[in-house]
Structure 1
Amino acid sequence: MKLKSLLLGAVAATALAPAAFAERGEDGHVNIIYWQAPSILNPYLSSGTKDIESSSIVIEPLGRFDQDGNMVPYLATEIPTVSNGGVSEDLTTITWKLKEGLLWSDGTPVTSADVAFTAEYCMHPEGGCAQAAKFEGVSSVETPDDLTVVVNFSEPKPNPYGPFMGGQSPILQQAQFADCLGARAPECTEANFGPIGTGPFVVDEFRPNDVISLSANPNYRDPAKPAFATMTFKGGGDAAAAGRAVMETGEFDYAWNLQLAPEVIEEMAAGGQGTPVSGFGTLVERIEMNLTDPSPDLPEGERATAAHPHPILTDMKVRKALSMAIDRPLLVEIGYGQAGRPTCNLVPAPEIYASDNTECLTQDIEGAKALLEEAGWTDTDGDGIRDKDGEKLSLLFQTSTNAVRQDFQALIKQWWNEIGVETELRNISGSVFFGGDPGSPDTFQKFYADVEMYANNFDGTDPESYLAQRTCDKFPRPESQWQGENINRFCDEEFDALVAELGRTGEIEQRAEIAKKLNDMVTADSYVVVPLVDRGRVSAHSNTLGGVILNTWDSELWNVADWYRIDE
């Protein structure tokens, strides 16, 4: 089956929950809590899920992915396909048509110029864009008229739905961001903290790493939506407090990402105020191995850059030994129960793209020890920690502050200690760790540690853009204000060539084979990424909040315009 043949057919559209209200704002106030607090409302300057999802309430893409992974139009009239003339027969262009009469929240018209500007903003050579992989292969963007956008690709693009699709690639208002191109992007605080959007809500006040106050967008395209006049988006705390606030006390209406032990969630649900919702997608908890030296002894600007390879982790045998020592099934049992599955893959779904690699699922402590011996790491002084050429096998292991992650850190430290690795643990507030502040030393992009653990996923059901994040040109670095998706600084010309091949391959089965090879190159073949758990997303909503449809393929807040209050 060819991807082109899929493009020939109509794109499935899912009917959203019917509106249970007749007038905008009649249901009063709604409270959302994300225990990782948003730090910016511009997903092009942060790849943190908390920032992408909070932004999605305000700024929107041309199309989204629904709860089943189908593409549905938002600002566009329809999803372009070959059949409807929106995708060219040679697959080198995709033409989007904006809905007529769209207004920004400030009352000005939305035009194709805003869409073209968004591409210019992310693709600017002097800037650092956290979503650059979405624009892989784009050669130019044309605007024949105010409602038409033509995206041109440098070669046939069987999957042309990277730019402007999903919560990771929304449209920015040109008038607001015109002076924020390139290196100036992070300096535009007012725009980054209060973007003018087309979404159902507008920002009234944003206190980074704390709270967002929002109100209904008076110019939203559906005059009956949203049902809520105002919204408080609270950030911070921890997953347990967020879960209790919805399911036990009823203080909040929606709590995101309840990364808690299954028995804890069950106890909270017994409180009777709210309901947990869950679903599997492509969210993988993993360990990233830093291939560059994060030593604080290096000059600022050279630390964790390609100029200085990591003194220990550039050896694949060490990385593999660290992976072999981990008992993934036990991690799942302790941390997630039925909401998790042990995995060796960075791309665990859809099934056609998932590699059949399962070797990592069996812990092998003795094999890990033997591998370290082969690599020349021995315990010469009998203190239980291996050394080589006078250097101890000692690693700094960082992650965000969360009870499950700290449990994982403790167990992994114990296993690594068994094989002779000294491990220092550090945890950082999720609001900071997943923030995009180029001045902070504690972001996961800057990676001032040897190994780090986190999870993320990709929009939709095709992993092309996600895998393209690992190409050599996407290192976070000082020149890009530490933006970039290639977190561990992996660089392989063969990998880059395969990404390019994936971009021009139309056969679904061939695309799947290439994607599996790319997955294996960073996991089973090199261990620069060490997958741990294929995580189900678990959130919770109050029993009085209607319209919630959990979506693991896009922003969880994708249909917040359709939420409403259920009368008790």
Structure 2
Amino acid sequence: MNTKTVLLASAALLAVAAPVFAEGHEGERGRDGEVSILYWQAPSTMNPFLSGGTKDVEAASLVVEPLARFDETGTIQPWLVDEIPTVENGGVSEDLMSITWKITPGLVWSDGTPFTSADVQFTYEYCTDPEGGCAQGAKFEPVESVETPDELTVVVNFKEPTPYPYTAFAGGESPILQKAQFENCKGAAASTCTEENFNPIGTGPFVVDEFKTNDVITLSANPNFRFEGKPAFAKVNFKGGGDAEAAGRAVMQTGEFDYAWNLQLAPEVIAQMETGGMGTTVVGFGPLVERIELNHTNPDPALGPDERSVIRPHPFLQDPAVYKALSLAIDRPLLVEIGYGQAGKVTCNLVPAPEAFNSSALECSEQDIEGAKKLLDDAGYVDSDGDGVREKDGVELRMLYQTSTNAVRQDFQQLIKEWWEEIGFAVELRNISGSVFFGGDAGSPDTIQKFYADVEMYANTFNGTDPQSYLGGPLCSKIPSPENQWQGENIPRFCMEEYDELWAELSRTAAPEERQRIAKELNDMYVSNGGQIPLVHRGRLSAHANSLGGVKLNVWDSELWNVADWYRIGE
């Protein structure tokens, strides 16, 4: 079977379709006034290349857009191009060494200037500058170069045959930046361009009027948006901050807001809110996983700020007996029950979805306190002075466990602390405002990227239905450090040569069954070697006002992917 036949055989990888937009709600642009959106984790930037935080990526998706998106079914859709390139239509080369995107003629930026291939090429250069610390660097890992034969043609050349070419410039995590606006913001200057990062010029349905970091974003309808009569809303009030419970109540009980994101709340709290009758919850399962990341470097405060979480190894967390004991001590079914109910499932995997990529090789569904103790005993960790804390070679098992401020996460922290202390650890808890924790600010000591703790807990996911780029996150080259502005997807600082080699094999493998096998093997390798402790496969749950139409929850891209189609019902 030749590579063309193999590539076309994978419907899951190459599902393409024409974009579908809401019908029957035509009218003038801005006819429905204002829509109010509430993200209780406040955005800290409108540049998704400077933050891996979902809140920042999704806020930015109102303004900046990729060449292609993934719809609510996970199907890739043309967005700023005429069609999705494939081998069949000639857009992907027979040897799988390049993909050619044809930009839709006549597209303009919100400032009225033409959108061209030069902007796409610039975005590649911006994200791959080694001093820039691009938070989405794994998406460009397979790319050798980007060429622009003419103003409407983009040719992405790969380092080697690349069966899945839809990583760079596809999905909300990889949008296009305007070259004219950002050309002086490459490399080390990226984080200093406050005006550009807060007020990007885009092709999306809205433009930024005012950005108040970690607070409020006000936006207006883009007068140059490519679809007549869209968006229906003239203004967006995008409020950040507070907590998930207040956000849910603001939509479902008081009606103050039209949309509330990520209602990470106990099931009984959601049920009570729904009795308010003013809003509706929407839920879907994608690859979102609540996990505990294990620091592979030393976060000791006695080290300098540029040495913490850089110097290897961690005093004890890379010992298999330690990280396996930590995992064994956790009662995941109880966490699901108290935290998510039907919106959660036990998972042992980094990638629990799509189902074709969900490994069954790992087992973690049963808590085993005694088994955890035995692992530590056999490895020589003992409590020699009777203070309840084990030690070995003079190093005590003391950990700082941090996460974002959220009722469910604090409940999880308390339970996990009790279980870990039962097997001989001393655990200090810390919670940080989500706006700061997920903010990606290179100057802050409190971000997930800095990781000035032993373990940290949060959820993460990826765009689309193929995990290649996501599984590229743990590559040795993606570790955050002072040299790359503390950006990079490899937050645990995991580094394993065998993993890097296997990921490279995935990137050049075409057969769907083989891609699935390799992806599962990467998943198992990462988890089994202490990259992270998966906890809960989370459903994405948000809420919208009953008066808000056009909402389609999307677990494969930005939740705000089709905001141009939202409209007010009955007005």
TM-score, normalized by length of structure 1? 0.98
Which aligned pairs between 1:29-40 and structure 2 lie closer than 5 A? 29-40=34-45
* 1:278-427 alignment, distance < 5 Å: 278-305=283-310, 307-427=311-431
Deviations, residues 306-344 of structure 1 (Å, cap 9, x unaligned): x33111112121011000000000000000000000000
Query: 1:192 aligned to 2:197?
Result: yes
Aligned to 2:501: 497
Q: Are the equivalent residues in 1 in contact too, given 2:18–2:83 (CA < 8 A)?
A: no
Conserved in 1, the CA contact under 8 Å of 2:405 and 2:434?
yes
Shift in Å, 1:13:
3.9
Counterpart-to-counterpart distance in 2, 1:19 and 1:293? 58
Report the counterpart of residue 513 of structure 2 in structure 1: 509
Deviations 1:342-378 (A, max 9, x none): 0000000111111003421111100100111122211
Aligned to 1:78: 83
Work out whether residues 325 and 373 of structure 2, in 8 Å CA contact, stay in contact via their aligned partners in 1: yes
Contact residue 446 and residue 482 of structure 1 kept, 8 A: yes
Residue 141 of structure 2: which of 131, 136, 143 is its match? Answer: 136
**Residue 19 of structure 1: how far off its partner (Å):** 4.8
2:209 and 2:289 map into 1 onto residues whose CA distance is 34
Amino acid of the structure 2 residue aligned with 1:366: E
| Equivalent-residue separation in structure 1 for 2:498 and 2:554 (angstroms) | 34
Alignment partner, residue 91 of structure 1? 96
Say which of 184, 202, 211 aligns to 1:179.
184
- Alignment of 1:555 onto 2:558: yes
Equivalents in 2 of 1:312, 1:131: separation in Å? 30
Alignment of 1:431-450 (within 5 A): 431-450=435-454
The question of 1:18 aligning with 2:36 is answered no
Structure 1 letter corresponding to 2:470? Y
Equivalence for 2:223: 218
TM-aligned CA deviation for residue 529 of structure 1: 0.8
Give distance in 1, aligned partners of 2:250 and 2:272: 13
Give 1:10 deviation, angstroms.
Answer: 6.8
Q: Which residue of 1 aligns with 2:536?
A: 533
Partner-residue secondary structure (3-state), 2:125: helix
- DSSP-derived class of the 1:534 partner: strand
SS at match of 2:239: strand
Matched, 1:170 2:175: yes
- The unaligned stretches of length 5 or more in structure 2 are none
What is the CA-CA distance between 1:21 and the residue it aligns to?
3.2
- Cα separation, 2, equivalents of 1:292 and 1:374: 24
Check conservation: 2:318, 2:530, Cα contact below 8 A: no
Give the 3-state SS of the residue equivalent to 2:301 in structure 1.
coil
Q: In the alignment, is the contact (CA less than 8 A) between 1:324 and 1:363 conserved in 2?
A: yes
CA distance in 2, matches of 1:507, 1:379: 52
3-state DSSP class of the match of 2:364? helix
In 1, are the aligned partners of 2:344 and 2:539 still within 8 Å (CA)? Answer: yes
1:506, distance to aligned residue in structure 2 (A): 0.3
Matched, 1:542 2:545: yes
- 1:9 Cα deviation after fit: 7.1
- 2:266 and 2:341 in contact (8 A); partners too: yes
Could you tell me how far apart the structure 2 residues matched to 1:201 and 1:178 are? Answer: 22
Distance in structure 2 (CA, Å) of the matches to 1:317 and 1:23 = 64
Q: Partners of 2:143 and 2:392 in 1: how far apart?
A: 47
1:44 to 46, 49, 52: 49
Deviation, 1:14, is 5.4
Q: Which runs of 5+ in 1 are unaligned?
A: none
1:149 paired with 2:154, answer yes
Aligned twin of 1:472 = 476
Change (3 A) 1:404 1:10: closer
Does the alignment pair 1:270 with 2:275? Answer: yes
Distance 1:294 1:244 in 2: 38
| AA aligned opposite 2:87 | V
CA distance in 2, matches of 1:72, 1:106: 25
Q: Which amino acid aligns with 2:529?
A: S
Q: Distance in 1 between matches of 2:262 and 2:374?
A: 39
Distance 1:246 1:195 in 2: 29
* 2:549 and 2:568 in contact (8 A); partners too: yes
Code of the residue aligned with 1:150 in structure 2: it is V
State percent identity of aligned pairs: 69
Q: Does 1:159 align with 2:170?
A: no
Equivalent pair of 2:475/2:494 in contact (CA under 8 Å): yes
Q: C-alpha deviations, 1:501-544, integer Å up to 9, x for none? A: 00000010011110011000111x21321000000000000000
1:64 maps to 2:64:
no
1:431-457 deviation line (CA, Å, top 9, x unaligned): 000001001000001000000000010
Q: State the Cα distance separating 1:247 from its structure 2 match.
A: 0.2
Q: Do the aligned partners of 1:138 and 1:151 also contact (CA within 8 Å) in 2? A: yes
Cα separation, 2, equivalents of 1:194 and 1:92 = 36
1:19–1:378 CA distance, 2 compared to 1 (3 A): farther
> Displacement, 1:136?
1.4
Decide whether the 8 Å contact of 1:4 with 1:158 is kept in 2: no
CA shift, 1:4, in A, is: 4.0
Q: CA deviation at 1:126?
A: 2.2
Q: 1:250 aligns with which of 241, 244, 255?
A: 255
Separation in structure 1 between the aligned mates of residue 544 and residue 558 of structure 2, nearest angstrom: 16
Structure 2 CA distance for aligned equivalents of residues 390 and 407 of structure 1: 32
Spell out, residue by residue over 1:26-83, the C-alpha distance to the aligned partner (whole angstroms, 9 max, x if none): 0000000000000000010000000000000000000100000000111111111111
Q: CA deviation at 1:127?
A: 1.7
Q: In structure 2, do the counterparts of structure 1 residues 444 and 236 end up closer, same or farther at CA, with 3 Å as the change threshold?
A: same
Distance, in Å, in 1 between the alignment partners of 2:518 and 2:156 is 25
In the aligned structure 1, how far is the partner of 2:259 from the partner of 2:26? Answer: 19
Between the two proteins, the alignment pairs up a number of residues equal to 566
